[in-house]
Amino acid sequence: MPRPKALAASELEARLAALPGWSLVDGKLHRDFRFPDFVEAFAFMTAAALCAEKLDHHPEWSNVYAKVSVDLVTHDAKGITELDFELARRMSAIAERTETGRTE
Amino acid sequence: MPRPKALAASELEARLAALPGWSLVDGKLHRDFRFPDFVEAFAFMTAAALCAEKLDHHPEWSNVYAKVSVDLVTHDAKGITELDFELARRMSAIAERTETGRTE
Amino acid sequence: MPRPKALAASELEARLAALPGWSLVDGKLHRDFRFPDFVEAFAFMTAAALCAEKLDHHPEWSNVYAKVSVDLVTHDAKGITELDFELARRMSAIAERTETGRTE
Amino acid sequence: MPRPKALAASELEARLAALPGWSLVDGKLHRDFRFPDFVEAFAFMTAAALCAEKLDHHPEWSNVYAKVSVDLVTHDAKGITELDFELARRMSAIAERTETGRTE
């Protein structure tokens, strides 16, 4: 599969409009998730890690107790690509399935 | 904390009545969970593993793709104890939070 | 990628000879791993889960505290395939990297 | 168990001297771990998460592919406590067991 190209600003806006909770921060796709506790937060991270490894595309993320902050960018493409949106959509789906992952 | 004692048959029945999805199989507390896919199943296992390690009480369990089968018993007590019910309740709570873990 | 075909008995023998710790049990590729404790055992399972999800080929496995028992087979092919050997090799590599996963 | 108190500067120095790879950064106990790949990095995080949950003391940490950065502090005590050193020691032990976690 060819690696995707960086999306233009207009394309980013259209895709962001369809992806609640995510925004553009420092040139990366960003979302803060908050869970009820560490156990839920880390279970989310494990599910997201499985998706990331399968896509062969990995997040920049940090965790403090029940909070998980995610930044997505495609370094090879020097920008945000379709691959970042795919991982973002899967992370949102995981968090919504638990009904506990909430954007702050 | 003193390790709990094996529960008598009448106590097991009362506690099982309050714990949907679990039953007594071969002298162990048993439940089969089914999830939408492997990612959800393994995220459940990770959350359950965190609970088990915190309780210092671990399950006998197996996984095949989206299915997780759990057996709980306290070998030291040669029977099922309050500790098994505590882990069972936490596993049920995790599976219910995801709204995807279903008893077969 | 086309799904691989079941390997013939002679091919299985040759591949098994190159894969220490694994044997043929009930028509599946089998290995029991033992770790120092539950934490190490579950960390191994997490690494193996990431490999399995990436290969889109998943193990039948069970865990009791520090022990992880694995059975690999390709149901679509009604036998053991190259995919099972690939996952077995990766699991062995993970366990050897920790220097703690030992065949019983 | 009573929550531990913040350690004095002289105590921090003595304990840091016995804990290779860790340093004091912005008032927190800090270490950067580097692994061969994402799978190893996330397996380390899972083992560390199990230790953290058992201690009921959690890290501030971030991950980018094969790198895991950890900051430990005890907010209740407004400083670094024995609990932070305990978690730091366990994280180091996990990384050393894999023989792949290296301080950058």
On chain A, the residues whose CB falls within 8 A of the CB of B50 are: 38-39, 42-43
Would you place residue D1 in the very low, low, confident or very high pLDDT band (cuts 50, 70, 90)? low
Closest alpha carbon within chain B to C68: B62
Please give the pLDDT value at position A93.
95
The size of the B-D interface in CB pairs under 8 A is 12
- What φ, ψ does residue D70 adopt, rounded to 5°? -120, 135
pLDDT tier at C1, thresholds 50, 70, 90: low
C99 or D25: which leads in pLDDT: D25
CA distances from D8 to C40, C48, C64, D18 (A): 34, 43, 43, 16
- Residue A65 has what pLDDT? 98
Mean pLDDT (chain D) is: 92
Per the domain annotation, does D5 fall within a domain?
Answer: no
* Facing A46 at nearest CB: one of C46, C54, C56: C46
What's the rounded Cα separation, in Å, for the pair B34 and B3?
31
Query: Could you tell me which residue, D38 or B99, shows the higher pLDDT?
Result: D38
- The mean per-residue pLDDT over the stretch D59-74 comes to 98
HSE-up (13 A, CA, CB side) for residue D94: 30
- Kindly calculate the radius of gyration of chain D based on its CA atoms and give it in whole angstroms: 13
Around B77, how many Cα atoms within 13 Å sit in the side-chain half-sphere?
19
* Helix H or strand E encompassing D61: strand D60-64
Which residues in chain C are contacts of B39 at CB distance < 8 A? 53
D73 domain-assigned = yes
D1 part of a folded domain: no
| pLDDT confidence of residue A104 | 45
| Residue A80 covered by a domain | yes
| CATH number of the domain where residue B89 is located | 3.30.1360.20
Residue C43 lies in a domain: yes
Contact D58 A65 (CB under 8 A): yes
Q: What is the pLDDT of residue C4?
A: 86
Among chain D residues, the shortest Cα distance to C90 is held by D39
Contacts of D among chains (3+ CB pairs under 8 A): A, B, C
**pLDDT score recorded for residue C2:** 65
Kindly state whether residue B2 falls inside one of the protein's structural domains.
Answer: no
ipTM of the complex: 0.92
Domains in chain C, number: 1
CB D72 within 8 A of CB D26: no
pTM metric for this prediction: 0.94
The one-letter amino acid code at D42 reads F
Residue span of the structural domain in which A98 resides:
9-103
Residue B44 lies in a domain: yes
In chain B, positions 52-71, which contact chain C (CB-CB < 8 Å)?
52-53, 58-65
Looking at the domain assignment, is residue A44 inside a domain? yes
What is the band of B2 on the pLDDT scale with cuts at 50, 70, 90? low
Question: With contacts defined as CB-CB under 8 Å, which chain A residues touch C53?
Answer: 50, 53-54
How high is the pLDDT of residue C102? 46
Chain D neighbors of C40, CB-CB under 8 A: 47, 97
The number of C-alpha atoms within 13 Å of B5 and in the hemisphere containing its C-beta is: 4
* Residue C57 and residue C74 in contact, taking contact as beta carbons nearer than 8 Å: yes
Closest residue of A to C47, CA-based? A50
The predicted model gives A52-62 an average pLDDT of 98
Q: Distance (Å, rounded) from C-alpha D61 to C-alpha A68? A: 10
The whole-number pLDDT of residue A4 equals 86
Nearest C-alpha in D relative to B46: D46
**Which chain C residues are within 8 Å of D43, Cβ to Cβ?**
43-44, 46-47, 50, 94
Evaluate whether A42 touches A63 at the Cβ level (below 8 Å).
Answer: yes
- Round to whole Å and give the CA distance between A46 and C18: 32
Chain B residues close to C58, C-beta within 8 Å: 38, 64-65
Q: How far is D43 from chain C (nearest CA, A)?
A: 5
Nearest chain A alpha carbon to C48: A50
Kindly state whether D84 is in contact with chain C, defined as any CB-CB distance less than 8 angstroms.
no
Which residues does B1 contact at the CB level (< 8 Å), separation at least 6? none
The confidence score (pLDDT) of residue A2 equals 65
pLDDT digits (tens, 9 = 90+) for B20-78: 999 999 999 999 999 999 999 999 999 999 999 999 999 999 999 999 999 999 999 99
- Contact flag D54-B49 (C-beta cutoff 8 Å): no
- Residue A98: its pLDDT value, please? 67
DSSP string of A17-61, one letter each residue: HTSTT-EEETTEEEEEEE-SSHHHHHHHHHHHHHHHHHHT---EE
The pLDDT tens digits of the residues spanning A2-37 come to 678 999 999 999 999 999 999 999 999 999 999 999
Cβ neighbours of A50 in C, within 8 Å: 49-50, 53
Q: What is the pLDDT of residues C61-102, one digit of tens each?
A: 999 999 999 999 999 999 999 999 999 999 999 998 765 544
